[in-house]
Amino acid sequence: MSELLKKTLTLLTGSPANSKRPLRKLTARELIELEAEIGGQLFGPIPAGHRREFFCLDEHTWIWHEEGTDVNGQRRVTSTRYEIHDNGILKAQDGKVYKFLEGAELRNLTLAIRLYYEAVARGIYKRDPITGHPLSGTTATM
């Protein structure tokens, strides 16, 4: 839509239609960054100098990224990708054998995914995670 047309519509109809939905202005990447910040906090306080992100990359993929300094003062960076397949969740980590999650590790990831959903639904999208309805008296603003 051209800028001229947008301005014309604004003059005719008032505010742009998406003014009540400011999140629409954010790109998919920016939404992911917002979510990743909340996702990283699910695992407890983040130590100083440490960076942790956990986010949903797409409909089938989760990313856990962690940066920090180990006890020997070495900088460590770990990125893990979790792919959801029909037959299991595949864990892919640099330099390691891919494997399907099972048992406690699968349960921990599942728990994190659920808590992530609830946290971003309320914290970013202002939705009730159970019903999906907008939280009363709020609009999705950031």
Partner 1 sequence: MSETPTLPISDKKTDLIAQNADRILNDPRANAEFFEQARYQLTMEQPPRFEQLDLGTDELPSDTFWEEGTPEASAGAERIEEAKRPVTHAEQLEQDLMYYTDRQLLAYAAANTKAVWALKHLV
C-alpha closest to that of 84 among 50, 121, 109: 109
CA–CA separation, 68 and 117 (whole Å): 26
Contacts of 57 (CB under 8 A, 6+ apart): 32, 63, 81
Q: What is the DSSP letter of 132?
A: -
**Would you count residue 21 as binding partner 1 (CB under 8 A)?**
yes
C-alpha closest to that of 108 among 87, 82, 76, 78: 82
**Would you count residue 96 as binding partner 1 (CB under 8 A)?**
yes
State in angstroms the smallest separation of the CB of 7 from partner 1.
24
| Candidate list 98, 108, 128, 138; residue touching partner 1; CB under 8 A | 108
CB contact at 8 A, 38 and 123: yes
**Would you count residue 127 as binding partner 1 (CB under 8 A)?**
yes
Q: Which lies closer to partner 1 via its Cβ, residue 37 or residue 93?
A: 93
List contacts with partner 1 (CB under 8 A).
21, 23-24, 26, 28, 31, 35, 42-44, 52, 54, 56, 58-60, 62, 64, 66, 76, 78, 80, 82, 84, 88-89, 91, 93, 96, 101-117, 120-121, 124-125, 127, 129, 132, 140
